[in-house]
Amino acid sequence: MTDLRIGVIGYGMRGTIARTAHRPGRGAVVAAVADPDPRAREAAAAAFPGALVSADHRKVIEAPDLDAVLVLTPDHTHADLACAALLAGKPAFVEKPLDITVERCDEILQTARETGTRLYVGHNMRHMPVVRMMRDLIGRGAIGTVKTVWVRHFVGYGGDWYFKDWHAERQYTTGLLLQKAAHDIDVLHWLSGGYTRDVQAMGDLMVYGDNPHRRAPGEPKTEDWYTEDGHWPPHTQRALNPVIDIEDVSLLNMRLDNGVLASYQQCHFTPDYWRNYTVIGDAGRLENFGDGPGGQVKVWNSRRSEYRAEPDETYDIPKPEDDQGHAGADPLIIDEFLRFVRDGGVTDTSPVAARMAVAAGYQATASLRAGGTPREVPRLDPDLVAYFERGQRHVAD
């Protein structure tokens, strides 16, 4: 099998995806990288010997010998870059979220349909073992028909990852109910079998809003911007982004189009970093304790009772064969993307679902900033939905 030649636009924090995709002799090789940051270009040149490295993304998009492009840039740039790649006939992997507004997400989907170029979105949590396990249990009827889902998101390292660079600014993210929660909204939709129709949210900038320790505008992040065991409690954080105007504690209520009621909570005060899903059906409940290897999914479904710590069924979350990147999800999502580039067809990730996660997060953020006023999530053109459900094939194909 000849290696696919991959181009990369953006070699920052998600450069890990590019390194995962670089498999010389095993299906793919990163052949070109573009990034405006000279430090990123230096790192890319070292990681991918012989690759074209440029400051200009057009060098990647216009390169005639590339088979696909990874768009790994800041969120607000996704639509422009993805559409350019699609118009150039290059299958595109777009890191989540798809973009930061509903309109720009729809523009990407419409461009993919009009050009017929393959579009893939990096919602890697669909490949996390804990998510697959919960979905399999639901599919087997372990808790009956899903009726409600509660998600608690404990973001212990949020001060490092989201408040020391562009993530902290609305103009680049809309907010963390879109940027961060898009993962969980997508998983919630996948587990529930529906998409959010109505949202109502509340939140505030409670953790980092009054922290005066900001970098000067234009000053780069410090070398110790992230440490595994430092920067605790949150008020000890230093060298935060000069501008912080997004919320760091939020509560979201959702009604899905299939009647499921759901909630999502995100908190950056917490010392631990993990997600807890509680899924309740008409014949039981399941819940994960830990979201990686060593954790468990527990099911209560045999009888009524008072509180009981011991469930009816316990399932250990398995360790993936390759545990690099999001509990092994990153290698699996690249596996699927490369297969999709070669062969097309339906994928476990979904551009439609990616758009719906952004739409829910966008409207939730609007609700939060309007004092909790309920908002309706805009529907997607049914013809677009049908196109992607067919595996991105036109009816005449």
Predicted TM-score (pTM) of the model is 0.96
Question: What tens digit of pLDDT does each residue of 226-240 get?
Answer: 988 888 999 999 999
Question: What tens digit of pLDDT does each residue of 238-251 get?
Answer: 999 999 999 999 99
Q: Identify residue 396 by its one-letter amino acid code.
A: A
Q: Identify residue 137 by its one-letter amino acid code.
A: L
Question: What tens digit of pLDDT does each residue of 83-96 get?
Answer: 999 999 999 999 99
HEC string of the chain equals CCCEEEEEECCCCCHHHHHHHCECCCCEEEEEEECCCHHHHHHHHHHCCCCEEECCHHHHHCCCCCCEEEECCCHHHHHHHHHHHHHCCCCEEEECCCCCCHHHHHHHHHHHHHHCCCEEEECHHHHCHHHHHHHHHHHCCCCCCEEEEEEEEECCCHHHHCCCCHHHCHHHHCCHHHHCCHHHHHHHHHHHCCCEEEEEEEEECCCCCCCCCECCCCCCCCCCCCCCCCCCCHHHCCCECCCCCCCCEEEEEEEECCCCEEEEEEECCCCCCEEEEEEEECCEEEEEECCCCCCEEEEECCCCCCCCCCCCEEEECCCCCCCCCCCCHHHHHHHHHHHHHHHCCCCCCCHHHHHHHHHHHHHHHHHHHCCCCCEECCCCCHHHHHHHHCCCCCCCC
Query: Please, what is the angle between helix 102-115 and helix 351-369, to 10°?
Result: 160
Q: How far apart are CA 372 and CA 129, in angstroms?
A: 34
Q: How far apart are CA 300 and CA 395, in angstroms?
A: 45
Q: How far apart are CA 324 and CA 53, in angstroms?
A: 25
Q: How far apart are CA 322 and CA 329, in angstroms?
A: 9
pLDDT at 397 over 70: no
Question: What tens digit of pLDDT does each residue of 265-323 get?
Answer: 999 999 999 999 999 999 999 999 999 999 999 999 999 999 999 999 999 999 887 76
pLDDT score, position 360: 98
Cα dihedral 285→253→247→100 (10° resolution): 100
Q: Identify residue 309 by its one-letter amino acid code.
A: A
Q: How far apart are CA 378 and CA 109, in angstroms?
A: 15
Mean pLDDT of the 210-219 span: 95
pLDDT score, position 83: 98
Question: What tens digit of pLDDT does each residue of 97-153 get?
Answer: 999 999 999 999 999 999 999 999 999 999 999 999 999 999 999 999 999 999 999
Q: How far apart are CA 341 and CA 73, in angstroms?
A: 20
Question: How large a percentage of the chain has pLDDT more than 70?
Answer: 98
pLDDT score, position 229: 83
User: What does R_g of the chain's alpha carbons equal in angstroms?
Assistant: 21
pLDDT at 69 over 70: yes
- The whole-chain average pLDDT of the chain stands at 96
pLDDT at 193 over 80: yes
Mean pLDDT of the 177-204 span: 98
pLDDT at 327 over 80: no
Instruction: Quote the Cα angle for 60-90-27, to 5°.
Output: 85
Q: How far apart are CA 146 and CA 256, in angstroms?
A: 11
Largest CA distance in the chain: 66
Could you tell me the sign of the dihedral formed by the alpha carbons of 128, 131, 137, 138, in that order? Answer: negative
Pairing relation of β-strands 284-289 and 274-281? antiparallel
Phi first, then psi: what are they for 67, rounded to 5°?
-95, -20
Range name among 52-61, 285-294, 320-329 with the lowest pLDDT average: 320-329
Q: How far apart are CA 4 and CA 24, in angstroms?
A: 9
